[in-house]
A and B are shown apart, each in its own frame.
Chain A
Amino acid sequence: MTGKKFKNISMDGLFRNNPTLRLVLGTCPTLALTTSAMNGIGMGLAVTFILLCSNTLISLLRKVIPNEVRIPSFVLIIATFVTIVRMVMEKFIPDLYSALGVYLPLIVVNCIILGRAESFASKNPVLDSSLDGIFTGLGFTWALTMIGAIREILGSGSIFGLELWSFKIEFFTSAAGAFFTYGVVIALFNGLFASIENRKRRKEFKLLYPSYEVDLPNKDKSENKIAKEAK
């Protein structure tokens, strides 16, 4: 495993192919469970664990599973791990277990896990697949925690259960607020992402054609100077 590949997989999972913000997968738990940051972390970590286990096992068995029945096999593997996680959580963290409610068993049909199994784990070696599972799960976790934190601060005036102030905008704890916050966060993230990509692309272009003055909107003054000096 080279460093470049590691960086690629981690960046894909956390940012470039972030399941919630870029691929818009797993929206059901995102909308329903992000009333508080704690719920977001709990759900995210549960999904991360299941994703790690299922990706590893599916990658190990990728040459054994016949192509025709791969989806049922994936579901069987995922359901096994979900059951284990449910039992463990019910025994050791019953509060979070009851807060997650029906969405915990529903991880079985979560499209992030099935999607990673289908598109990555069934085609790549074990180490890559398990790393992909971890980073995709962590990408899901941070997105859920962020949305949960925004909704908790605005809607309940607290963060991770700590009360900050008594001022509440109840709109953000309702379902409409969930859709609203999710949409705004997706828009901001994608806007930020696009601007970073753009800057990178412009830099590469300048390296290739140093004498060409780039005529794009929002060009920086420093970039102009460089172009003039190159001339």
Chain B
Amino acid sequence: MNKVIVSDSPHIRGVRTTKGIMLDVCIALLPACIMGCVYFGWKALLVLALSCISCVASEMVYQLCLKKKFKTILAEFDFTSLVTGMLLGMCLHSNVPWYVPIIAGVFAIVVVKMLFGGTGKNIVNPAITGRVFAFISFQAVMISGWAMPTIKAIKPLAGNITSGATPLTQMLGNGVENIGISNLDLFLGTGVMGCIGETCKLALLAGGIYLVVRKVIDWKWPVIYILTTGVMTVLINSIAIKSFAINTFLPSILSGGLFLGAIFMATDYVTSPYTNKGRYVYYPILGVVTALLRHFTKIEVVSFAILLMNLFVPLINTYIRPRIFGEPTLSEKIKAKRQAKQAAKAAKVEGGEAK
């Protein structure tokens, strides 16, 4: 058979598809979802289900409005909207009214993702923007009304946990001594008030390790983000109380949505820099911004920090680019410049002698 096929340059393609990667992320999110449902009961399950349904349904309705056939929509369905829905549900607390996850889901998918062109075209993370939208729109219900988990703390420290504030807000407001809960409890999420998916750090870590093993994300980036936030918090508190405040390190990284944000949201392919060099710039700045904003606003700001830094990603991509094949390296460029200068000087000297 003499058949010549002419095609464009990527001739060898990987077997990984968007669908497969997103399915991996869904699986990685499951332990945290399950732990959230265990801690906060059927209400948490309802919030998660509503946000997932709202995200997936609004994506399908949008595509139907674009006159796509339902069969092709089903065939093209990658799990990105489901991931968005799960993440969005996980960063709401379980006592929110039913309309909050629905409206936030519609906003996240229709405005943030589909209007910019669908999967892979969004400029900011849809789930985070959905949460920020909900936070701005329904401040009264988003800030108060945190649910108490059904499982009590293993070893609560002295001092009572007042209802209506998460450990993080207590720490930010009153200092680390008044957090009222041990680091182990913060890690396991037992007796910790918070959003559905962010209290059990162990489950999130398990999901993260699964993603690293499946090579969906690189372990470096969440670690860099989390460590920078912790170090920065220690530094800020040390300056504030004028002594070394190492005891703020663990509570600051174990409370709030830092693990959820670092493992699942900040590592989003679409909204993080393309190159490794760019990422070495992006994640430390993200950590610094998170710690600074946390210190000055006294609220949980991981979502705001990631949203803010997402907007700087195009800038980082523009200025920190990989070297094009054949392009001289930086040192070579400097060398060439110096040589050109010397040559120009020599020419000048020769010209002077000639005169």
List the interface of chain A (C-beta within 8 A of B).
167-172, 174, 176, 180
Contact = CB atoms under 8 A, between A and B. Distances in A.
A221 to B, nearest CB: 16
B136 interface: yes
Contact of B138 (A169, A172, A180): A169
Task: Specify which of B111, B137, B139 lies most central, judged by the most chain A CB atoms within 10 Å of its CB.
Answer: B137
A213 B102 CA distance: 47
B268 to A, nearest CB: 22
Nearest to B133: A171
A167 to B, nearest CB: 8
Nearest to A218: B67
Interface of B: 99, 103, 111, 133, 136-139
Task: Specify which of B99, B111, B136 lies most central, judged by the most chain A CB atoms within 10 Å of its CB.
Answer: B136
Contacts of B139: 170
A220 B331 CA distance: 64
A229 to B, nearest CB: 28
A104 to B, nearest CB: 29
A162 B99 CA distance: 23
A174 B133 CA distance: 11
A167 B99 CA distance: 10
Contacts of B137: 168-172
A168 to B, nearest CB: 8
B108 to A, nearest CB: 13
16 contacts: A167-B99, A168-B137, A169-B103, A169-B137, A169-B138, A170-B136, A170-B137, A170-B138, A170-B139, A171-B133, A171-B136, A171-B137, A172-B137, A174-B136, A176-B136, A180-B111
A86 B137 CA distance: 35
A174 B137 CA distance: 9
A167 B98 CA distance: 12
A14 B103 CA distance: 34
A168 B138 CA distance: 8
A170 B132 CA distance: 12
Contacts of B138: 169-170
Task: Specify which of A171, A174, A176, A180 lies most central, judged by the most chain B CB atoms within 10 Å of its CB.
Answer: A171
A170 B143 CA distance: 14
A135 to B, nearest CB: 32
Contacts of B99: 167
A169 B133 CA distance: 9
Nearest to B135: A171
B110 to A, nearest CB: 11
A169 B111 CA distance: 15
A83 to B, nearest CB: 38
A210 to B, nearest CB: 29
Contacts of A169: 103, 137-138
A180 B111 CA distance: 10
Given A170-B136, A170-B138, 13 more contacts: A167-B99, A168-B137, A169-B137, A169-B138, A170-B137, A170-B139, A171-B133, A171-B136, A171-B137, A172-B137, A174-B136, A176-B136, A180-B111
